Amino acid sequence: MNECKIINDPVFGFIKIPTGLLLNIVKHPLMQRLTRIKQLGMAPVVYPGAQHTRFQHSLGAFHLMSEAVLSLQQKGVFIFDSEVEAVQAAILMHDIGHGPFSHVLENTLIKGISHEEISLLMMDQINRDMNGELNLAIKIFKNEYPKKFLHQLISSQLDMDRLDYLRRDSFFTGVTEGNIGSARIIKMLNVVDDSLVVESKGIYSIENYLTSRRLMYWQVYLHKTAVGYEKILVNTLLRAKDLIKKGHKLFASPSFAYFLENEVDSDFFNSHPEALEHYIQLDDNDIWSAIKVWQNHEDKILSILAQDLINRKLFKVEIYDSPVSEDSINDYKQKISEKLNINFEDAHYLMSVNTIQKDMYDIHDDQISILSKDGTLRDITEASEILNVELLSKKICKYYFCYHRI
């Protein structure tokens, strides 16, 4: 029996990590960095219990992957030990490229390069540190390995990433509607023609999973208060960048300063090796410590935004079914500018207009196939009696107008 380390996880109980390659990944500084990055960014402003980290999520997804692979092997799906270890390694590292408040960062400090691309750069770095032991894991992660179902376990409508974060986020936020039957779904997985399918007995669990996912999006991930809070952070970072461009001095850790001072896009990131080094050094603490200092900055707008963040003075959020008119936006800009005695041009930092859309299931993106007893395959939308395909694939679009309360 291989030796293993045991970690006690509040969601799944004891998680076993075999010594060797997998434990070495867990101990690697790039993985440990995820212990300093919260999984849900700004959501704790609504759900104070949501203090869990990306590291915990990665361990949970690893645990589910181990369960899924074992279950498939018991059904006669042939998976080599080397493939098992590789797919476990890939899911452990799937989120490694996330930055602090990931989606906020992706649109402000870094443009045109996604956390998935950065994850691959970091995986390559760990692979070099481990003398190429991750070659197979990276191949599976990039979907370049012949057994496609292994990649689907990492990234698809039914991947272990989603199964963990829905369970975990539901647990830590206390939003019980998101509590999916991950164990049951995993037991119902099978492989047909190199594709992941769900046995027909598992159809109710999948119906519940899709409904829960929709609820979690609107109740947690796109909750209007969290969205409004996130916009304050976005505008704070944009204002800081603008001030630095105009020659102002701002307190920031060296790595945070690097992204504030440079226009970092995909080309810049790939042509400046130090960009990745600075990114690796960034975590939630860099952002919060700078914001605490910025509260007292001489620039009125930056200090108001920083104080809003620190003292939970949330933007007011109004949600509409149609786009907000230019006139309404300009009226409010005028109000802010007069009330706070700031330039009309700069008043946009104290408000935000956004379109948010989400669909529950994209039939073209990645299907969930249900395996009937007679061996035929049908998409979940055809196999389910309660899921309405029009409703399921309907894109819900909402227009958010957020602004500083005056």
**Domain harbouring 178, CATH code:** 1.10.3210.10
Neighbouring-strand partners of residue 191: 196
Decide if pLDDT at 1 tops 60.
no
Q: Which of 357, 381, 401 is the last residue of a domain?
A: 357
In terms of domains, do 145 and 215 share one? yes
The answer to whether residue 76 sits within a structural domain is yes
pLDDT of residue 393: 65
Decide if pLDDT at 190 tops 60.
yes
In terms of domains, do 169 and 194 share one? yes
Dihedral in degrees, nearest 10, Cα atoms 242, 245, 248, 250: 70
State which residues form the domain around 48: 4-93+134-220
Number of domains comprising the chain: 2
In terms of domains, do 210 and 231 share one? no
pLDDT band at 170 (very low <50, low <70, confident <90, very high): very high
In terms of domains, do 83 and 154 share one? yes
Decide if pLDDT at 357 tops 80.
no
pLDDT of residue 363: 60
The pair of structure tokens assigned to 158 is 């039914």
In terms of domains, do 17 and 166 share one? yes
Decide if pLDDT at 39 tops 90.
yes
pLDDT of residue 283: 96
pLDDT of residue 132: 97
pLDDT of residue 135: 98
pLDDT of residue 347: 96
User: Which position has the token pair 């164990």?
Assistant: 183
The string of pLDDT tens digits covering residues 58-101 is 999 999 999 999 999 999 999 999 999 999 999 999 999 999 99
In terms of domains, do 259 and 179 share one? no
Average pLDDT, the chain: 93
Query: Any idea what DSSP says for residue 219?
Result: I
Decide if pLDDT at 402 tops 80.
yes
> Percentage of the chain surpassing pLDDT 90?
84
In terms of domains, do 78 and 157 share one? yes
In terms of domains, do 229 and 322 share one? yes
In terms of domains, do 172 and 261 share one? no
pLDDT of residue 259: 97
**Domain harbouring 266, CATH code:** 1.20.1250.30
* CA-closest candidate to residue 167, choices 197, 208, 225: 208
The string of pLDDT tens digits covering residues 361-392 is 666 566 899 999 999 999 888 888 877 666 66
> To 5 degrees, how large is the angle CA 182–CA 92–CA 201?
20
In terms of domains, do 28 and 40 share one? yes
The answer to whether residue 295 sits within a structural domain is yes
The residue-averaged pLDDT of 158-166 equals 95
Residues 6+ away with beta carbon under 8 Å from 42 = 101, 104, 226, 229, 230, 233
The pair of structure tokens assigned to 405 is 């309360």
pLDDT of residue 390: 62
In terms of domains, do 188 and 78 share one? yes
pLDDT of residue 105: 84
pLDDT of residue 360: 62
